[in-house]
Chains A and B, each alone.
Chain A
Amino acid sequence: MKFIRRVLLAVSVAGAVAGVIRFKGKGVGAIKQGGWRKVTDPKQN
């Protein structure tokens, strides 16, 4: 019983830490400086 309680505690602590990291973590935003342009003639660089 004690072992199960410890496992549950460990899982819930790990879950809480993962949740904090996931939601507080710095995400990568969309590229704001640039974009894709179609290459019309591959002979020209």
Chain B
Amino acid sequence: MIGIVGAGVVGSRVAETLRLFLHQQIYIYDTEQIVAQRLAGRLSGGKSQFSVVDRNTMKSAKVVVLAGPSPQVSMARELLAAGVCVVSTSDDISDCLNLLALSQLATENNATLIVGAASSPGMSGLLVRHLAESFDSIDEVHVALHGTGGPACARQHHRALSGQSIGWHDGEWLRRPAGSGRELCWFPEPVGAYDCYRGELPDPLLLKRAFPELERVTGRVTATRRDRVFSRVPMMIPPQAEGGMGGLRVEVRGMKSGARLVDVIAVAERVGQVAGVVAATTAQAIYKQDIKDIGAHVLGEKSMPSSLLLTQICSAGINLHSFVRA
């Protein structure tokens, strides 16, 4: 049985995707029980049975998706100690680092921990692995994200523009102020072109872990002037229930047949939808033992069944777009 912690935007999409995969028994837990009950009531029926449970009952699940706001490390530690496999959707740098530090705990308890199984990070790693297979070798990856999922994701996006971005550059980690380094990035329609800036994103950290051969990795987010100006102050207007159409763009550079090549692949979809589908697909893969490795892992690693995951993600309705030159 698979559990979902958090019944917000991402949690709802995880539940919907698991129902699409005809998963039979699904537990839902949220700090606001009424939200969890509403989700269970909306999706129950057919072959899938949704049950609202308390925090302790989650320990009886085989796999749990953490779809609540960051930090997720304390819940992950609790579940891993009970031998439950965990899929984390955290997009906070310190939370991801703390989660990776739980690798030994996961190994001791014979459990799998997937860190950053969302849109960015998560889908970005799978897309890099997909593109990397067509290269002889890759050395640069540049990720750009547009849009936000639920309110917690919007708050994280706000924080990401005010902190310190981290990027891998020729053998060392470079810290630069978030909100700097403007670059115009093109996403598939209907998103189009947006100015992207360095952000405090965990993508470079996790991608470097999955692809140790990389020499340069950067992560950027789209932002307007207003986003950049007000990123230093607390959010004064509460975020919307869900962000609009989002996009994820992954640019990979490397060598193929002796020539330097740049390849771009992207997704244009609501960020919460992508995150939910990626997390649910990963949880399903652990449940079905397509992912057997214990310890902490990130999506895109060589040991992960990236091709299978990507095929299932596409079959769940996420469309990939490849940039082709005229």
Contacts and interface: CB of A to CB of B under 8 A. Distances in A.
Interface of A: 28, 30-39, 42-43, 45
A42 B326 contact: no
Contacts of A42: 130, 307, 310-311, 314, 320
A38 B323 contact: no
Contacts of A35: 323-324, 326
A36 B325 contact: no
29 contacts: A28-B193, A30-B193, A32-B326, A33-B326, A34-B324, A35-B323, A35-B324, A35-B326, A36-B188, A36-B189, A36-B266, A36-B321, A36-B322, A37-B322, A37-B324, A38-B319, A38-B320, A38-B321, A38-B322, A39-B265, A39-B314, A39-B319, A39-B320, A39-B322, A42-B307, A42-B310, A43-B311, A45-B130, A45-B134
Nearest to B184: A28
Interface in B289-325: 307, 310-311, 314, 319-325
Interface residues of chain B: helix, strand, loop or mixed (majority): mixed
A28 B195 CA distance: 11
A34 B266 contact: no
B326 A39 contact: no
Interface string B87-115: 00000000000000000000000000000
Interface of B: 130-131, 133-134, 184, 186, 188-189, 193, 265-266, 307, 310-311, 314, 319-326
Nearest to B187: A36
A30 B192 CA distance: 10
A37 B268 CA distance: 12
A26 to B, nearest CB: 13
Contacts of B325: 33-34
Nearest to B130: A42
B206 to A, nearest CB: 20
Which of A33, A36, A39, A42 has the most CB atoms of chain B within a 10 A radius of its CB? A42
Contact of A37 (B131, B134, B193, B321): B321
Contacts of B311: 42-43
Contact of B307 (A32, A33, A38, A43): A43
Contacts of B323: 34-37
A7 to B, nearest CB: 22
Contacts of A34: 323-326
A43 B133 CA distance: 10
B307 A39 contact: no
Contacts of A30: 193
Contacts of B324: 34-37
Which of B134, B193, B320 has the most CB atoms of chain A within a 10 A radius of its CB? B320
B219 to A, nearest CB: 21
A32 B167 CA distance: 31
Nearest to A39: B320
B22 to A, nearest CB: 22
Nearest to A33: B326
A4 B228 CA distance: 30
A30 B320 CA distance: 21
B318 to A, nearest CB: 10
B197 to A, nearest CB: 16
A45 B133 contact: yes
A40 B299 CA distance: 22
Query: Which 7 pairs from chain A and chain B are nearest by CB?
Result: A45-B134, A39-B320, A36-B321, A36-B188, A34-B325, A33-B326, A42-B310
